[in-house]
A and B are shown apart, each in its own frame.
Chain A
């Protein structure tokens, strides 16, 4: 699993997570998201277009970050979910918790609109 971070316009940060979001790999993503939130970066877009798998541990990590961001008037948006990931989010109703966008561009537009 690889995690990449990138600053976008307007103090929005992009986090790309590749590979499997499972119990052994998710801590990398958790560390990256927590570091950004610790630094006061509270609007995060997590690009999952290269993520092939997610389990409950991966969901837990994303919900934790989402909750922290919301407490600081921010948000964690998701984009690029493949059909398998989308199924997992829908199965537990977390598609209603997160803003999920088909592409990074759509997620960026949503952030701009929300400001």
Chain B
């Protein structure tokens, strides 16, 4: 069980990517809440590709695929942009946002935080042919 989709790196195509993985997640047996988590994580991942790996819209494509592996829903997202380390983006601390000492929203950092909160596993690989992000949700 699995499928692949390639979209141009544009914000207005991210919803299509989200619907693609959400449909796969539902087919794999994830419940509504888990499907929503998968959709949001995919949204943040594709947004990061456009913002950080490609640096702008219409620079390159995003290839998404999903499969079920031993009770796990596995999404692989690949781009040909420059490598970036998501862990270097600081996560905003709510108290600092509230008292004005955080750089958020200028710097961002929420997307990676969302992915880690929403998924059971998040892995990045940076190779010569681009970046590969693997997102895993356990099927309960």
**A64, B47: Cα distance in complex, Å:** 19
Q: 6 tightest CB-CB pairs across the interface, nearest first?
A: A93-B94, A56-B110, A60-B105, A23-B11, A24-B11, A24-B12
B interface residues, how many (CB within 8 angstroms): 26
Cβ of B40 and Cβ of A88 under 8 Å apart? yes
A interface residues, how many (CB within 8 angstroms): 23
Shortest CB-to-CB span from B99 to chain A, Å, is: 10
Q: Which one of B69-77, B78-86, B111-119, B121-129 contacts A? A: B111-119
* Secondary structure call for the B interface: helix
A54-84 CB contacts (< 8 Å) to partner B: 55-57, 59-61, 63-64, 67, 70, 84
Q: Is A22 an interface residue (CB 8 A)?
A: yes
**A93, B104: Cα distance in complex, Å:** 13
Shortest CB-to-CB span from B7 to chain A, Å, is: 13
Cβ of A59 and Cβ of B110 under 8 Å apart? yes
Answer whether A97 and B98 are a contact pair too, CB < 8 Å, given A56-B110, A92-B113. Answer: yes
- CB within 8 Å of A: which residues of B? 11-12, 14-15, 36, 40, 43-44, 47, 50, 92-95, 97-98, 100, 104-105, 108, 110-111, 113-114, 117-118
Q: Is A41 an interface residue (CB 8 A)?
A: no
Cβ of A92 and Cβ of B43 under 8 Å apart? no
Cβ of B105 and Cβ of A63 under 8 Å apart? yes
21 contacts between A and B (CB under 8 A): A22-B15, A22-B43, A24-B14, A24-B15, A53-B40, A55-B40, A55-B44, A56-B44, A56-B108, A59-B105, A60-B110, A63-B97, A63-B105, A64-B105, A67-B105, A88-B114, A91-B117, A92-B92, A92-B94, A92-B110, A92-B113
